[in-house]
Amino acid sequence: MTNPPLISGRRCTVDYRLWVRDITYPPVIVAAKVAFKALDLRFQIRGSEHIPIQRGAVLAFNHISYVDFILGGLAAQPAKRVVRFMAKRELFDHRLTGPLMRSLHHINVDRADGMQSYATALDYLARGELVGLFPEATISRSFELKTFKSGTTRMAAEAGVPLVPVILWGTQRIYTKDHPRDFARGKAISITVGEPIQVTGSSPVSDTLTLRTRMSELLDQTIKDYPQHEAGAWWVPASYGGTAPTVEQAQVMEREEMRQRAEKRRAERQSPSA
């Protein structure tokens, strides 16, 4: 076996078994497709030809539901590729989802040690993997794009790989924040893959603005082309005739959520049993 490539002066640290066998992903994909069929999900995938057939790439997804990383992986299926998503540590710590996430070789993101997950993602990209990220970091309650973190573009630039924008729409109707799960059959799911963006890393702020602008255009077109659009629906952005929170209202809700979480953490630290 050849030596792993150098990235920024270091060797890859990912377990070599990842590049030899991927045991869990194929049956999970089959099971997921069976579930999608049972739910009669009606997929509309556009632009899948923009997913690289072989080389590594960073896939940037908008974030509107808890099932985005499950359905988002379908963007790479026409290219017969799989996506390794960067996901929060809580999913890996859970007794049920943890073993599955690890077996699929997704990337554990510990916000207390973000550089480790970043380094792991670079290793994956050097080996030709597709790495999926959510530049917004958290779910958008308005279903429009939030402020982007610059880590997505910095990662693509440092790895020297294309940055591919991907838009998901309809996933919020299944399971998202502040709403009950809805597994009623027949929902349309739209996935739009944009042309790769080449970033140099010379200006992460400018690169991030370019990415967000491009994804905003793709989101607008995807919403307008959505076959089951419903004016006044809770899952439609206010700016498109729906009753979802406006961007400003969503920001207020998010700040309140963060305040409540901070209070809970303080209370836990101060508790004698903590």
* CA pair distance 215, 221, nearest whole angstrom: 10
Looking at domain 23-269, does it have CATH number 3.40.1130? yes
194-216 per-position pLDDT tens digit: 999 999 889 999 999 999 999 99
pLDDT score at 89:
81
User: Would you place residue 5 in the very low, low, confident or very high pLDDT band (cuts 50, 70, 90)?
Assistant: very low
pLDDT score at 8:
44
Write down the domain spans for the chain. Answer: 23-269
User: Would you place residue 271 in the very low, low, confident or very high pLDDT band (cuts 50, 70, 90)?
Assistant: confident
- pTM value is 0.89
71-81 per-position pLDDT tens digit: 999 999 999 99
* CA pair distance 138, 68, nearest whole angstrom: 11
SS (H, E, C) 89-137: HHHHHCCCHHHHHHHCCCEEECHHHHHHHHHHHHHHHHCCCEEEECCCC
pLDDT, mean of residues 255-271: 88
User: Looking at the predicted structure, is the pLDDT value of residue 111 above 80?
Assistant: no
